[in-house]
């Protein structure tokens, strides 16, 4: 995500090729993001309510008459969301609000294809269990071979979620004998604590539903409901995660660094992130979680190495080793743990982190590039990742491929950039998919990628699109693209500002040095 030096074959763009006032827009946005940095260097923006968790909470609260007022607030949130909800969310709302038959026609296949192929069997079981937990009237049966419930190669969040799914479906299908003691013990273990386990409210709710249906755990479930309701949002809904503060801080740091923010701001952010490092050397999406991931770890490594404070060297080395420890035999990198399937976007993220400095082992980067190139589709895009926008993987792959002078790196970058160029919308922006309306985050991703080609015109009209979406505070209004678990989207508003600022920052380094400008963000 960090800014690279412009390749020598690309002539810097003249400032007058871009819309007037673009630097002022960048400065206003930069000032807005700086104002979101707390004195300790953290960037915090609460995860907003989501239909999935809210529907699960409402259906669970039906069993707790003493929580009627809280249930009514959740129901109000869901009813307000019904009009704009997609078909899956509408099915969840209908089931939890007392119309279970309305969920029968949902086409789960349309959602399963939005997740990586290696998750498909588990995703189907998960969708069915969540719908049943919400009260949906659907037919289901546990997978006879148990593959949908296998915990092999799963990180702890997925292991707990899959176990809850197994219990819910076993009870719903009349096959309680499939539930093992270790399943129940795992679900009990993530409830016997003072806070939401790993900050993951979806897993928390799924475990509560499973334990409630099992029976005999009333006191524990009641305490779990009380813990859940501490995170009910002002609009009445329930979010996916308690917070994603580490991710917000990391991406904001990279964006502000690209946009020329004062060094003391970057120093505070970098120090904050070093203090968030986990015992294994990696980073998680939030302080509460212990599960580390390649995405947070890679982006934080990019920031720390680019900022280059000698005091952070130990943290950088620990982070590098944590990332390298997850590398797969195919040369790629998974999201969470060693042994899990590699993913294209996480491999691009790892390349971007491990190429900040001269590589100690070029074979690692070359193997990752080979995996990345092999994963590119004919249209220049990549398999689904952790974003609803196909341009998320595209821009990160372009940045990664730009580190190599190899034929397949050039081919990857050319195909990716061709896709971006031919899918620009008439309004100058880009949408999450080629047939989607333009949104600022997807447009920001596209602009970052297009800074690695020669024509400034597509970027100029893209910047005009972003400038038109900037409000009086300097902020950018955008839909969300963040996904978890795949393919459910959740919303952290500040990320729209962060990635738009990141695009402005990349652009500022692509313009000819003759257009002198002293950043004031």
CA distance 344 to 398: 12
Q: Are residues 276 and 354 in the same domain?
A: yes
Residue 350 lies in a domain: yes
Q: At what angle do helices 120-133 and 201-214 cross, to 10 degrees?
A: 60
CA distance 136 to 413: 45
Residue 39 lies in a domain: yes
State the alpha helices, DSSP H only, in 36-133: 51-61, 68-81, 87-96, 109-112, 120-133
- What Å distances lie between residue 29 and 25, 183, 477, 493, CA to CA? 6, 48, 11, 14
Residue 327 lies in a domain: yes
CA distance 431 to 6: 26
**Do the Cβ atoms of 502 and 33 come closer than 8 Å?**
no
Q: Are residues 221 and 327 in the same domain?
A: no
Residue 293 lies in a domain: yes
> Given 183, 216, 239, which residue is the final one in a domain?
239
User: What pLDDT is stored for residue 151 in this prediction?
Assistant: 75
Q: Are residues 284 and 311 in the same domain?
A: yes
**Do the Cβ atoms of 210 and 164 come closer than 8 Å?**
yes
Nearest to 451 by CA among 416, 476, 487: 416
> Given 239, 258, 279, which residue is the final one in a domain?
239
Q: Are residues 304 and 419 in the same domain?
A: yes
Annotated catalytic residue: which of 295, 296, 439, 497? 295
Q: Are residues 115 and 255 in the same domain?
A: no
Residue 517 lies in a domain: no
User: What pLDDT is stored for residue 141 in this prediction?
Assistant: 63
CA distance 420 to 5: 21
Q: Are residues 471 and 355 in the same domain?
A: yes
- What Å distances lie between residue 38 and 45, 253, 274, 398, 520, CA to CA? 11, 12, 16, 32, 19
CA distance 259 to 519: 7
Q: Tens-digit pLDDT profile for the chain (521 aa)? A: 999 877 778 899 999 999 999 999 999 999 999 999 999 999 999 999 999 999 999 999 999 988 999 999 999 999 999 988 898 999 999 999 988 766 667 788 888 787 776 666 788 889 999 999 999 987 766 555 565 677 777 899 999 999 999 999 999 999 999 999 999 999 999 997 778 999 999 999 999 999 999 999 999 999 999 999 999 999 999 999 999 999 999 999 999 999 999 999 999 999 999 999 999 999 999 999 999 999 999 999 999 999 999 999 999 999 999 999 999 999 999 999 999 999 999 999 999 999 999 888 899 999 999 999 999 999 999 999 999 999 999 999 999 999 999 999 999 999 999 999 999 999 999 999 999 999 999 999 999 999 999 999 999 999 999 999 999 999 999 999 999 988 889 999 999 999 999 999 999 999 987 444 444 56
Q: Pull the structure tokens for residue 419.
A: 């896709």
Three-state secondary structure call for residue 283: coil
Q: Are residues 78 and 19 in the same domain?
A: no
Whether 295 is a known active-site residue: answer yes
The domain in which residue 178 lies consists of: 50-239
Q: Are residues 37 and 125 in the same domain?
A: no
Residues constituting the chain? 521
Q: Pull the structure tokens for residue 468.
A: 């038109």
Instruction: Count how many domains the chain has.
Output: 2
Q: Are residues 43 and 178 in the same domain?
A: no
Q: Pull the structure tokens for residue 467.
A: 């400038």
Nearest to 448 by CA among 435, 430, 434: 430
Residue 105 lies in a domain: yes
> Given 205, 224, 239, which residue is the final one in a domain?
239
Residue 472 lies in a domain: yes
Q: Are residues 184 and 66 in the same domain?
A: yes
- What Å distances lie between residue 318 and 41, 237, 253, CA to CA? 21, 39, 20
**Do the Cβ atoms of 476 and 466 come closer than 8 Å?**
yes
Q: Are residues 361 and 219 in the same domain?
A: no
Residue 232 lies in a domain: yes
**Do the Cβ atoms of 276 and 283 come closer than 8 Å?**
yes
CA distance 223 to 378: 51
The pair phi, psi for residue 49, each rounded to 5°, is: -60, 150
Q: Tokens 């590398």 map to which residue?
A: 327
For residue 96, give every residue at least 6 positions away whose Cβ sits within 8 Å of its Cβ, in sequence order, or none: 54, 55, 56, 58, 59, 75, 78, 134, 135
Q: What is the CATH number of the domain that holds 322?
A: 1.50.10.20
Task: Tell me which DSSP letter residue 238 carries.
Answer: E
Q: Are residues 280 and 171 in the same domain?
A: no
């Amino acid at each position: 995500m960090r800014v690279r030096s412009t390749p020598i074959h690309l002539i810097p763009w003249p400032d007058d090729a871009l819309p007037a006032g673009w630097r002022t827009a960048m400065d206003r946005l930069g000032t807005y993001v700086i104002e979101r940095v707390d004195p300790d260097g953290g960037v915090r923006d609460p995860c907003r309510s989501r239909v999935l968790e809210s529907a699960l909470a409402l259906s669970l609260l039906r069993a707790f008459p003493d929580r009627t007022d809280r249930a009514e607030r959740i129901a109000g949130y869901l009813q307000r969301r019904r009009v704009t909800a997609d078909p899956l969310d509408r099915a969840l709302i209908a089931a939890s609000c007392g119309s279970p038959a309305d969920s029968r026609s949902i086409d789960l296949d349309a959602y399963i294809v939005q997740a990586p192929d290696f998750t498909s069997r588990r995703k189907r079981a998960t969708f069915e269990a969540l719908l049943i937990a919400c009260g949906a009237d659907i037919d289901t049966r546990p997978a006879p071979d148990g593959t949908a419930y296998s915990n092999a190669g799963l990180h702890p969040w997925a292991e707990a979620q899959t176990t809850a799914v197994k219990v819910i479906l076993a009870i719903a299908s009349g096959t309680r004998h499939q539930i093992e003691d270790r399943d129940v013990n795992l679900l009990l273990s993530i409830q016997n604590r003072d806070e939401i386990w790993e900050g993951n409210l979806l897993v928390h709710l799924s475990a509560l539903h499973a334990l409630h249906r099992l029976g005999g755990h009333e006191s524990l479930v009641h305490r779990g409901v009380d813990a859940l309701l501490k995170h009910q949002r002002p609009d009445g809904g329930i979010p996916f995660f308690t917070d994603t503060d580490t991710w917000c801080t990391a991406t904001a740091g990279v964006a502000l660094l690209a946009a020329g923010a004062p060094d003391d701001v970057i120093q505070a952010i970098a120090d904050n992130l070093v203090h968030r490092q986990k015992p294994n050397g990696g980073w998680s999406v939030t302080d509460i979680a212990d599960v580390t991931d390649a995405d947070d770890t890679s982006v934080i490594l990019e920031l720390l190495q680019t900022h280059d404070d000698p005091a952070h060297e130990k943290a950088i080395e620990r982070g590098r080793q944590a990332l390298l420890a997850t590398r797969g035999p195919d040369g790629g990198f998974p999201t969470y743990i060693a042994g899990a399937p590699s993913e294209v976007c996480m491999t691009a993220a790892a390349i971007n982190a491990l190429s900040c400095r001269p590589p100690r082992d070029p074979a690692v980067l070359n193997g990752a590039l080979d995996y990345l190139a092999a994963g590119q589709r004919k249209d220049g895009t990549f398999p689904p990742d952790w974003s609803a926008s196909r341009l998320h993987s595209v821009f990160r792959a372009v940045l990664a491929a730009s580190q190599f002078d190899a034929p397949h790196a050039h081919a990857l970058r050319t195909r990716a950039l061709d896709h971006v160029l031919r899918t620009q919308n008439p309004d100058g922006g880009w949408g999450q998919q080629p047939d989607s309306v333009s949104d600022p985050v997807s447009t920001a991703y596209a602009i970052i990628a297009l800074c690695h080609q020669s024509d400034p015109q597509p970027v100029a009209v893209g910047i005009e699109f972003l400038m038109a979406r900037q409000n009086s505070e300097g902020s950018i209004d955008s839909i969300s693209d963040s996904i978890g678990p795949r393919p459910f989207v959740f919303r952290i508003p500040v990320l729209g500002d962060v990635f738009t600022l990141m695009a402005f920052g990349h652009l500022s380094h692509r313009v000819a040095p003759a257009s002198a400008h002293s950043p004031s963000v």
